[in-house]
């Protein structure tokens, strides 16, 4: 009897969500779950806070997870799907092999399924978790439009062409962001907050294999900075050794990333490219150093735009009950 009641409740909530989607024409809204799952936002936030309190680095990882999802066929949670006979998972693609945070999303989804089965999409969880991570670590807050649906497949083949590597120059970076509908200014602001190449830049770390070329081969780097990194990252081996992307405040969301660029202390080649001769990029970086509020404002605008890349809404896709597999 109890199981039948739970099933009926699940069906009713799912039907209500479908009715809401039809009524709004598939449009996103901050109030999307206000009636079907009123505690959704609080549940996501609690899960994110608990995870960061357990390991501060996971906040940057959740931000990166959202980036890597959105840059490959849009923000539709395809990155969360595991390998099956019919799905080539994105998780094993080279740019995603160091991506983390899947277990945090699993835990949050389990809580949501208990509270309101079949209602809150994994794509919305990823978007909210990225916002909540930024806020908890000292960054700005913003209202998240909700109502994304989850994909029915993954796009491993698209990962290598969609995620720009840390070796890209500024021209290539700008082209990559432009292909996603993001501006040059979005590139600069999002790079300083939670770059998709490694963990979040004002709040994360990078592996030796990602910055080795920069510290041994590039000339646009402070020599003493390069030498200090060479002590932990040899020319070969130790690929997984970690270094903070922001030396001053690696676990706090702020504008110190840009101050590092002025000192030629960007950890990655693609970091220092943002302040290395291009007058427009240099001007934006200096603005972010001198006016942190402008950085925060631009970052929020960039995150909102990125969170709306190639969405599935309305009757498109589905709401997975398990983020790792289709229903």
Task: Mark the binding-site residues for heme b, compressed into ranges.
Answer: 201
Binding-site annotation: residue ranges for Ca(2+): 69, 72, 74, 78, 90, 202, 246, 249, 254
Q: Quick check: is 66 catalytic?
A: no
What's the DSSP call for residue 78?
A: G
DSSP states along 260-318: HHHTT--SSHHHHGGGSS-HHHHHHHHHHHH-HHHHHHHHHHHHHHHTTTT---TTSSB
Binding-site annotation: residue ranges: 69, 72, 74, 78, 90, 164, 201-202, 246, 249, 254
In DSSP terms, 29 is beta-bridged to 146
Distance from C-alpha of 326 to C-alpha of 321, rounded to nearest angstrom:
8
Active-site residue, from 68, 214, 252, 269: 68
* 101: Cα separation from own chain's centroid: 10
Contact assessment for residue 192 and residue 232, using Cβ atoms and an 8 Å cutoff = no
Binding-site annotation: residue ranges for substrate: 164
Distance from C-alpha of 323 to C-alpha of 91, rounded to nearest angstrom:
13
Contact assessment for residue 171 and residue 101, using Cβ atoms and an 8 Å cutoff = no
Distance from C-alpha of 191 to C-alpha of 15, rounded to nearest angstrom:
40
Structure tokens at 21: 């989607």
What's the DSSP call for residue 244?
A: E
> Catalytic residues, which ones?
68
């Amino acid at each position: 009897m109890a199981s039948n009641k739970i099933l009926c409740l699940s069906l009713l909530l799912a039907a209500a969500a479908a009715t809401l989607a039809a009524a709004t024409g598939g449009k996103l809204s901050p109030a999307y779950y206000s009636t079907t799952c009123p505690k959704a936002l609080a549940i996501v936030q609690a899960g994110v806070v608990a995870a960061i309190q357990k390991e501060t680095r996971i906040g940057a990882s959740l931000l990166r997870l959202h980036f890597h999802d959105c840059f490959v066929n849009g923000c539709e949670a395809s990155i969360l799907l595991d390998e099956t006979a019919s799905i080539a998972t994105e998780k094993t693609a080279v740019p995603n092999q160091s991506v983390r945070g899947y277990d945090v999303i699993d835990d949050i989804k389990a809580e949501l399924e208990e509270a309101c089965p079949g209602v809150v999409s994994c794509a919305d969880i990823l978007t909210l978790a990225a916002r909540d991570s930024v806020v908890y670590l000292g960054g700005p807050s913003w209202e998240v439009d909700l109502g994304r649906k989850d994909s029915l497949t993954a796009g491993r083949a698209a990962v290598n062409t969609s995620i720009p590597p840390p070796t890209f120059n500024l021209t290539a970076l700008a082209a990559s962001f432009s292909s996603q509908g993001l501006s040059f200014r979005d590139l600069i602001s999002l790079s300083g907050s939670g770059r998709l190449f490694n963990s979040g830049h004002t709040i994360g770390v990078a592996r030796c294999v990602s910055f080795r070329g920069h510290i041994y081969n590039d000339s646009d780097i402070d020599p003493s900075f390069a030498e200090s990194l060479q002590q932990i990252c040899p020319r070969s081996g130790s690929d997984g050794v970690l270094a903070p992307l922001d030396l001053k405040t690696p676990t706090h969301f702020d504008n110190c990333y840009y101050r590092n660029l002025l000192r030629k202390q960007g950890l990655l080649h693609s970091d220092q490219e943002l302040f290395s001769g291009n007058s427009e990029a240099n001007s934006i970086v200096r603005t972010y150093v001198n006016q942190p509020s402008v950085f925060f404002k631009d970052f929020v605008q960039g995150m909102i735009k990125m969170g709306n890349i190639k969405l599935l809404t309305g009757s498109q896709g589905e709401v997975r009950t398990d983020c790792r597999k289709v229903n």
